[in-house]
Amino acid sequence: MTNTPALAATVLDAMSMALPCTTATPDERASEPCTRGDGLRELAILAPVLRAVLERAAASVGSSPVLAAAFVALTEAIHRQAGYGQLLAASRAVDAQVHAITEAPLAELNELLRDPVAFAAAPELPVDVPTRPGTTPLFRDDTDFLAGELNLTHFQAQHRVQSAENLVPHTGFNGSLVPPRFPLLGQVLDDAAADPKALATLARKFDNLAPSRDRMDDGEAGRALEAELAEAARTRNSQGTEKLLKDQAKRLDDATATRREAAEEMFVGAYYLGHTRKGYEYKVITTAEGHELLATAADILNSPRTRAGTAPAPVPEAGPPIPEWAIDQNTPVGERPLAGFTDLGQPPQLEPAVEMRPGESIEAALSRQRARRLHQLIIDSVRITTSPAEPGSPDAADGQMPLAPNFTMNVTITLETFMGQLDAAGITDHGEDISPASCRRIACNAGIIPSVLDGAGVPLELGRTRRYFNRAQRRAIAVRDKGCANPGCTMPPNRCEAHHVDAWNLGGRTDVSRGCLLCPMCHQAYHAGRFRIEMIRGRPYVILPASRDPLQLPRLNWIFHPAAEPQRAA
């Protein structure tokens, strides 16, 4: 951060003047630094000052939500500045070849640093002592120094050094300024607009796309991808930027899904691993198509909004009697409430066969129940497909009962891909890539529906208008939205509801072009007025509240549309 606000500069000057100094007069102190490392002395005294300020700030919050929100935001800003400082320090350490430090000054320095106040008040700091010729240095390289002095693993220290090179400018061997490898992402770090650790990881993963970026005709496309990623880092969470990275990798190499499927096909199967204390273990390796079918089946089996996932309603039990002081004396005795008055809510229900294990959380038990249900579906499917049909039944001639699909799988592809004119991968409802050949092959499967889009990504067939969206319309909306429309929400289509953008009771149409997907929680938030929806070129864009987006830009959900940019204000 190069620009220091006037108030901050005043505080900085006051703090500098308060530090002990060997310069004789105040006038001399104002004209030149006290001694070497003056900025480091200020940094040393800042640590205990910051701790005291944090505790004072926490005590002043009290029960005020406004002050609590301010405290959260300000401490996050401090965290981001500290993360920037870590990478800046790593960059300067590499520039100074810190691994060449010798034993005597390092020991003296570490002794001073045990007490930051003593370090700030020290009249002189240790002097650099060059390594004598023929002497083995204390550290192999700068990464080894960071790992040893900061108690980091080798990989943590290496990540910090590489991240500094990616995001922070440094000094070259001839003294010239060398910009970071990714200057646009580095600017996000400099602006403290994103979490530094997440940004460093993002830069490393973006660097892994280098072979694909190198195949481009010029550097403009690579800079455009970095600009796209930098904007996402400013406005999205880490999951949203991960989705964008995956989308960028696919755009750079449309044949990725085809190559991946060819490699996976060699290992597809169910392998018996043996009998252990847990039971008979099998390892199942499947393709994106199989994963989609299993994931969809698990969602259906465990969603309380489907028949398969609905557990029997629990029989209400009588709770403790309501206190006498809380009873309205005019209420008849038989109508006075018992259960519910002191009920704090029912936990998620487990099946009788799934008992809680000692020390197990309800989340772990529900996950185990989800796995049991999917396992039972697989076993039942095998039993149906391998059982002979009853004599005299229509299936007797075939010798077995074919397994009819009880759910469908949507695969989104472009019309050109469907017609064999392009080699772009299809996308399943759960965001998995499927090769063009697989898209065309599974179109023949009665349980799998290919949804073909036009050039603008809008479903070609929209269904008909009625009070409630019918199945065809819901499928078309799901293909277009891919999940909940609220930016940042990860709820897939099968967990969402079809929402009228224009209220039906106020004359709204039940058309695909005026409907969108919202999960139950986001649906409630919408009706509570927490965001607005605007249809732009047939797609639902959400305008977040000013507290989250001061610019009030219409945005697609970046989880399901990672490459989509916000619509600029007119």
Q: Percent of the chain, pLDDT > 70?
A: 71
Instruction: Identify the H or E element spanning 434.
Output: strand 433-434
Reply yes or no on whether the pLDDT at 75 is more than 90. Answer: yes
pLDDT band at 337; cut points 50, 70, 90: low
pLDDT band at 176; cut points 50, 70, 90: confident
**Beta-strand relationship, 539-543 and 532-536:** antiparallel
Domain boundaries, the chain: 6-207, 214-253, 477-570
Q: What is the pLDDT of residue 440?
A: 63
241 HSE (CA, 13 A, CB side): 26
Q: What is the pTM of this model?
A: 0.63
Q: What is the pLDDT of residue 142?
A: 93
Ramachandran assignment for 399, one of left (phi > 0), alpha (psi -120 to 50 degrees), beta (any other)? left
pLDDT band at 346; cut points 50, 70, 90: very low
Q: What is the pLDDT of residue 167?
A: 95
> What does the mean pLDDT of the chain come to?
77
**Comparing 54-63, 163-172, 185-194, 494-503, which segment has the lowest mean pLDDT?**
494-503
Cα Rg of the chain, angstroms: 31
18 HSE (CA, 13 A, CB side): 11
Reply yes or no on whether the pLDDT at 319 is more than 60. Answer: no
Write out pLDDT tens, residues 504-523.
767 777 888 889 999 888 88
d(CA 552, CA 549): 5
> What does the block give as tokens for 221?
């496309």
Q: What is the pLDDT of residue 212?
A: 65
C-beta of residue 423 within 8 angstroms of C-beta of residue 417: yes
Q: What is the pLDDT of residue 42?
A: 84
Reply yes or no on whether the pLDDT at 491 is more than 90. Answer: no
Q: What is the pLDDT of residue 77?
A: 92
**Comparing 148-157, 217-226, 284-293, 493-502, which segment has the lowest mean pLDDT?**
217-226
pLDDT band at 272; cut points 50, 70, 90: confident
CA distances 478 to 16, 63, 413, 458, 469, Å, are 61, 43, 13, 11, 12
C-beta of residue 328 within 8 angstroms of C-beta of residue 481: no
Reply yes or no on whether the pLDDT at 554 is more than 80. Answer: yes
d(CA 546, CA 528): 15
C-beta of residue 116 within 8 angstroms of C-beta of residue 42: no
Q: What is the pLDDT of residue 342?
A: 45
Q: What is the pLDDT of residue 163?
A: 94
C-beta of residue 138 within 8 angstroms of C-beta of residue 102: yes
> Which segments of 168-237 does DSSP mark as H helices, in order?
183-190, 196-207, 210-214, 219-235
d(CA 451, CA 462): 11
Place of tokens 């691993």: 273
Write out pLDDT tens, residues 274-287.
888 888 888 888 88
Q: What is the pLDDT of residue 23?
A: 47
**Comparing 58-67, 231-240, 469-478, which segment has the lowest mean pLDDT?**
469-478
**Comparing 137-141, 418-422, 523-527, 552-556, which segment has the lowest mean pLDDT?**
418-422
d(CA 482, CA 539): 11
Q: What is the pLDDT of residue 57?
A: 93
- Report the length, in residues, of the chain: 570
Q: What is the pLDDT of residue 326?
A: 63
Reply yes or no on whether the pLDDT at 164 is more than 90. Answer: yes
Q: What is the pLDDT of residue 284?
A: 87
Reply yes or no on whether the pLDDT at 72 is more than 60. Answer: yes
The β-bridge partners of 447 are none
Specify the 3-state DSSP secondary structure of 517: strand
Write out pLDDT tens, residues 415-457.
666 666 666 667 776 666 777 767 666 555 445 555 555 555 5
pLDDT band at 497; cut points 50, 70, 90: confident
Cα–chain-centroid distance for residue 112? 41
The mean pLDDT value for 65-82 works out to 93
Residue of 253, 249, 248, 265 whose CA lies nearest to 438:
265
d(CA 538, CA 546): 24
Instruction: Pick 379 or 218 by higher pLDDT.
Output: 379
The β-bridge partners of 177 are 171
Instruction: Pick 533 or 375 by higher pLDDT.
Output: 533
Q: What is the pLDDT of residue 410?
A: 64
Q: Percent of the chain, pLDDT > 90?
A: 22
d(CA 487, CA 518): 11
**Beta-strand relationship, 279-285 and 269-276:** antiparallel
Write out pLDDT tens, residues 514-549.
899 998 888 888 888 889 999 998 899 999 888 888
- The dihedrals phi and psi of 188, each to the nearest 5 degrees, come to -65, -40
